[in-house]
Structure 1
Amino acid sequence: MEGYSEKQLGIILVAERLFADKGFHGTSVRDIAQEADVNIAMISYYFGSKEKLLEAVFRYRMTASRVFIQELVDNDTMGPLEKIYSLVDRFTNKMLNEQHFQCLMNREQMNSEPSPVKDLIWELKTEMMGLMVPIVTRAQEQGIFYKDVDIVLLMSTLFGTLHQVVPAKSYIRSDPEFANLPDDEFVEYLKIRVSAHLKKLFKAILTHEF
């Protein structure tokens, strides 16, 4: 993972929140400096520019995912379906715990202008796809997974579902069943519910078992 100091990490996390709440162009370096309780010169010293700070936010969040996926692929003690389930849990937790980042990521992916951040997003997605292919294809060769699996759409199903759950959280929360449930307990409930749904779906697609 990127070797950020405590001060740099504090700036990154403040920038992430402000970029998500106000948009990249609606957030000034002065806004970030005030929220992070640092001077503007320090942000310039650490990151060079607001654009480079945005890039640092993405590198910080995405490096951990890259390491996790590589370790998952290299793990010889887990079965293929267990690896898929681990991936589902990882990204369900990540998206529901890092909602500012998910908001920012969605905004950047919808941005029609080319940017280093967009390149980073697609670089990671391409890398993830390249790492997931061996997990699925090896299991297919062993007769564990069915042959008729579209891996690209499988990953799109994972991320598409999770991206929809985040904005739908308030709708689900409006159910009277959750009226008195603290926010942190509701998020944990939602993680379990979404993860169970995705695992059931993936098992059906990969093994034709329900």
Structure 2
Amino acid sequence: MEEYNEKQLSIIIVAERLFADQGFHGTSVRDIAQEADVNIAMISYYFGSKDKLLESVFRYRMEASRKFINELVQNDTMEPLEKINSLIDRYINKMLGEQHFHCIMNREQLNKEKSPVRDLIWELKREMLGLMQPIVTRAQEAGTFDKEVDVVMLMTTLFGTINQAIPAQYILRNDIEFENMNDDDFKEYLRNRLSTHLKKLFKAILTHEF
């Protein structure tokens, strides 16, 4: 795991926000330096270039996910469905808490040009699939999960549902029943609604219990 000092982390967090708000090409190193209250030379010293800084944003966010999934797979005290539910809650919390990063990630996935960042995204997705597969496979072998489960589609369902719901929250927020709800309460409402829906859906798919 790559370690970042406090100054590097502050630059990474500022860059992440600006890349999300203004786009990668719409953000200059000068913009980042001004927002992070550092000089341009410091950014060059720590990261080398704007491209490498974007890579560092991705590596910083992805490392925590990699660590969590590894620990989850190796946990022998949890039942398979508990692990799946834990994974669901992890990614709901992650995407709600790191919306700037996921804005960049979604944009980069649509980038037709080959780039180190896009390679990092697919590297992480392959790892996640490779780590989730044993959870499902072991449960299938034990007769706990249905043997016809498509793990690739399962992961696509997880990310697709969350990625659709989070941007749509601003439309939902305009409904009259939520107009007096503060932002924290609405965020908790959305978190719980997503969690309940996905857990019911995954349980039905994995166990055929509707």
1:107 offset after TM fit, Å?
0.4
Please give the alpha-carbon distance, in whole angstroms, between the structure 2 residues aligned to 1:112 and 1:184. 37
Paired residues for 1:110-189 under 5 Å: 110-189=110-189
Deviations for 1:13-35, whole angstroms, at most 9, x for unmatched residues?
Answer: 00000000110000000000000
Structure 2 residues without counterparts, runs of 5 or longer: none
- The one-letter code of the counterpart of 2:39 is N
Does 165-174 or 52-61 show the bigger shift?
A: 165-174
Please give the alpha-carbon distance, in whole angstroms, between the structure 2 residues aligned to 1:198 and 1:2. 33
Structure 1 residues without counterparts, runs of 5 or longer: none
| SS of the residue 2:131 aligns to | helix
Match of 1:85 in 2: 85
1:151 offset after TM fit, Å?
0.4
1:2 offset after TM fit, Å?
2.7
Please give the alpha-carbon distance, in whole angstroms, between the structure 2 residues aligned to 1:183 and 1:33. 30
Structure 2-normalised TM-score?
Answer: 0.99
Q: Percent identity?
A: 75
| SS of the residue 1:25 aligns to | coil
Task: Note if 1:199 corresponds to 2:199.
Answer: yes
Please give the alpha-carbon distance, in whole angstroms, between the structure 2 residues aligned to 1:3 and 1:94. 20
Please give the alpha-carbon distance, in whole angstroms, between the structure 2 residues aligned to 1:185 and 1:16. 25
The ranges of structure 1 where at least 4 consecutive aligned residues each deviate by more than 3 angstroms after the TM superposition are none
Please give the alpha-carbon distance, in whole angstroms, between the structure 2 residues aligned to 1:26 and 1:82. 43
1:181 offset after TM fit, Å?
1.2
| SS of the residue 1:76 aligns to | coil
Deviations for 1:59-91, whole angstroms, at most 9, x for unmatched residues?
Answer: 000000000000000000000000000000000
Please give the alpha-carbon distance, in whole angstroms, between the structure 2 residues aligned to 1:184 and 1:45. 39
- The one-letter code of the counterpart of 2:152 is V
Deviations for 1:163-183, whole angstroms, at most 9, x for unmatched residues?
Answer: 101210111111111111111
Match of 1:15 in 2: 15
Paired residues for 1:44-59 under 5 Å: 44-59=44-59
Deviations for 1:103-158, whole angstroms, at most 9, x for unmatched residues?
Answer: 00000000011100000000000011001111001000101001110000000000
Does 10-19 or 173-182 show the bigger shift?
A: 173-182
1:54 offset after TM fit, Å?
0.1
Task: Note if 1:208 corresponds to 2:208.
Answer: yes
Please give the alpha-carbon distance, in whole angstroms, between the structure 2 residues aligned to 1:166 and 1:101. 13
Does 125-134 or 171-180 show the bigger shift?
A: 171-180
